[in-house]
Amino acid sequence: MPITTTRRRLLAGSAAALALPAFARAQGAVKPRLTVISQWSAGSDGAAITALGKKFEEKGGVWQHSPVPGFTTEMMNKLRAQIIAGDPPACSQLKGPEIAAWSKIAPTVDLDAAVAAAGYEKVVAPDLAKLHKPAGKWIALPLQIYSTNMLFLSKRAMDKAKADKPPVTWADFNALAEKMKSAGMTYPLANGGTRPDDGQKFEASFAGISPTAYRAAIMNLDKKALEGPEIKAAFAQTRKIADWCDPNVGAQPYATNLKRFVDGDMGMLIMGGWAQGVLKNAGFKFDDYVIVPGPSDNGKPVFLLNADAFIFWQRKEADLQAGQMLMAQLVMDPTIQTMYSQITGSIPVRTDVDLSGEGWSDGQRTTAAALKNAVGNNQAVLSLAHNMAQENGLTAAMIDVITEYVKNKSIKPEQAVSRLADAVEGAR
């Protein structure tokens, strides 16, 4: 029996009645408020989240950001303490597989409706999206993407070494490094000595040699790949890279070498796009350096993904819930993503943002093109050094092996391979 007009009107009426509370919420019946925890208290990260906060307040919200000084561990400590205390922040920084792990200890907000309304899922790389919907529902939203294996080349150093072509394969890279050395640069590579930095040296080598082997070994923990020839070659390449770094850097971050890099005393830097934000904040110009995708032996760019995200914890308060919705909308908004990425040097998560306009650097354009290319060729993999490929415990165990290998020249690649396999077994 067809639906009569009265019933239709009844249906329409009840639908409207149901929609009214949501409508009222959206109209700001409650002033949205957001409590946020992150580690971003300084530098370009601090500036970016502060700018995001201003936008939040422009839309009528109350922004309560608590940066936790220190690194991610301190932030996680604070988050854990808050969760145990039964008082999680409405929104916190979290990323990678940790999102899945932490979502098991406290209830999160189901963002599927908001994501669908914004059509966000269509414009996010599938590998990335998976990390943020661990049980099939969106509970976190990625905000910015970095590649951890971009190659920064100092213009002055390239001139000194009389090199004009950026290297494409690892063989090219090695040749260029040797050239720079003979041009007088004792240490052609400006990388630092922190744990993530050492991890980056390794993962850039491994993924550049074979993204398929990297995916199998590091992301899927496949036993055969963990003992194969590619990983051994990766360690050998890492040794070469380590030898080209200044041993005096100790455990200092790469930032201490930036001046020498720009001046031409060091020529290359394997780093993520955030270095661009750091360089900009330190007063250096885009003209001082060139960014190209990291070396890849098959000629096509390999993209080691690192993406920050915000996770939303369930709260009963209406104003916090409104704040969460507002924050979700902002994070998915292309203008906000543009603003954020332009401050930090990352690229937006949305694949539909046009980077040809003002405010974007060539490096960012290169990175975005590399991402598109890599996704198309299935060469976009998750970074180990930045906790995207595995959970923190396993990652730390693997980085233990890698950083020891980098700092101890007497460890052979074969030994490193077996130690890494042991570490994976031990931390399982």
Site for other proteins in 332-371 (CB under 8 A): 344
Q: Which residue has the tokens 């936790």?
A: 68
| CA–CA distance, 190 with 244 (Å, rounded to integer) | 9
- Give the span between the Cα atoms of 44 and 278, in whole angstroms: 7
Tokens 């240490």: give the residue. Answer: 187
Min CB(298)–other proteins separation in Å: 31
d(CA 204, CA 148): 8
Which one among 319, 396, 413, 415 touches other proteins, defined by CB under 8 A? 396
Q: For the packed helices 318-332 and 5-26, what is the interaxial angle rounded to 10 degrees?
A: 90
Q: Give all strands of the β-sheet with 289-293 in edge-to-edge order.
A: 268-271, 150-154, 289-293
Pairwise CA distance, residues 110 & 264, whole Å = 50
Q: How many CA atoms lie within 13 A of 198 on its CB side?
A: 25
Residues 88-107 that bind other proteins (CB under 8 A): 98, 101-102, 104-105
Cα distances (angstroms) measured from residue 358 to each of 99, 354, 385: 34, 10, 32
Q: Is 413 in the site for other proteins (CB under 8 A)?
A: no
Dihedral sign for Cα 286, 289, 290, 291, please: negative
Angle at 45 between CA 357 and CA 158, to 5 degrees: 65
Which lies closer to other proteins via its Cβ, residue 253 or residue 334? 253
What are the two backbone dihedrals, phi and then psi, of residue 348, each rounded to the nearest 5 degrees? -65, 155
> Is there a contact between 363 and 291 (Cβ–Cβ < 8 Å)?
yes
Q: Say if residues 389 and 395 touch (Cβ distance below 8 Å).
A: yes
Nearby residues of 240 by Cβ (< 8 Å), 6 or more positions away: 174, 177
**85 counts as binding other proteins under rule CB under 8 A:** yes
Q: Is 280 in the site for other proteins (CB under 8 A)?
A: no
Q: How far is the CB of 123 from other proteins (least distance, A)?
A: 26
Q: Give how many residues touch other proteins by CB under 8 A.
A: 73
Q: Is 203 in the site for other proteins (CB under 8 A)?
A: no
Closest CB to other proteins among 37 and 217?
Answer: 37
Nearest to 350 by CA among 21, 175, 192, 128: 128
Which residue stretch of 9-17, 172-180, 192-200, 376-384 sits at the interface with other proteins (rule: CB under 8 A)? 192-200
**Binding status of residue 191 toward other proteins by CB under 8 A:** no
Instruction: Based on the shown chain and the rule CB under 8 A, indicate whether residue 46 belongs to the binding site for other proteins.
Output: yes
Residue 250 touches other proteins, criterion: CB under 8 A: yes
Instruction: Output 67 or 293, the one with its CB closest to other proteins.
Output: 67
Minimum CB–partner distance for residue 253 and other proteins (Å): 5
The stretch near other proteins (CB under 8 A) out of 72-80, 210-218, 294-302, 369-377 is 72-80
Q: Strand pairing partners for 335? A: none
Q: Is there binding between residue 43 and other proteins (CB under 8 A)?
A: yes
Given the complex with other proteins, which of 252 and 351 has the nearer CB atom? 252
> At its nearest, how many Å lie between other proteins and the CB of residue 358?
24
301 binds other proteins (CB under 8 A): no
Query: Residue 159 Cβ, how far from other proteins at the closest point, in Å?
Result: 22
Alpha-carbon separation of residue 366 from 347, 357, 369 (angstroms):
10, 14, 5
Residue with tokens 């500036």, as numbered in its chain: 47
Tokens 């730390």 -> residue: 396
**Using the rule CB under 8 A, is 426 a contact of other proteins?**
yes
Which position among 134, 142, 167, 193 is part of the footprint of other proteins (CB under 8 A)? 193
Q: Of residues 13, 21, 282, 378, which one binds other proteins by CB under 8 A? A: 282
Q: Which is nearer to other proteins, 212 or 415 (CB)?
A: 415
Q: Quick one: which segment of 18-26, 148-156, 333-341, 406-414 binds other proteins (CB under 8 A)?
A: 406-414
Which window, 116-124, 250-258, 319-327, 354-362, contacts other proteins (CB under 8 A)? 250-258
Q: Which stretch binds other proteins (CB under 8 A): 15-23, 45-53, 201-209, 302-310?
A: 45-53
DSSP H stretches of helix in 27-110: 43-58, 72-84, 97-103
Which window, 21-29, 84-92, 159-167, 323-331, contacts other proteins (CB under 8 A)?
Answer: 84-92
Residue 249 interacts with other proteins (CB under 8 A)? Answer: yes
Q: Min. distance of Cβ 145 from other proteins in angstroms? A: 16
CB atoms within 10 A of CB 345: 26
Q: Minimum Å distance from CB 270 to other proteins?
A: 16
- CA-CA distance, 209 to 229, in Å (whole number)? 10
**Contact between 407 and other proteins (CB under 8 A)?**
yes
Nearer to other proteins, 219 or 396 (CB): 396
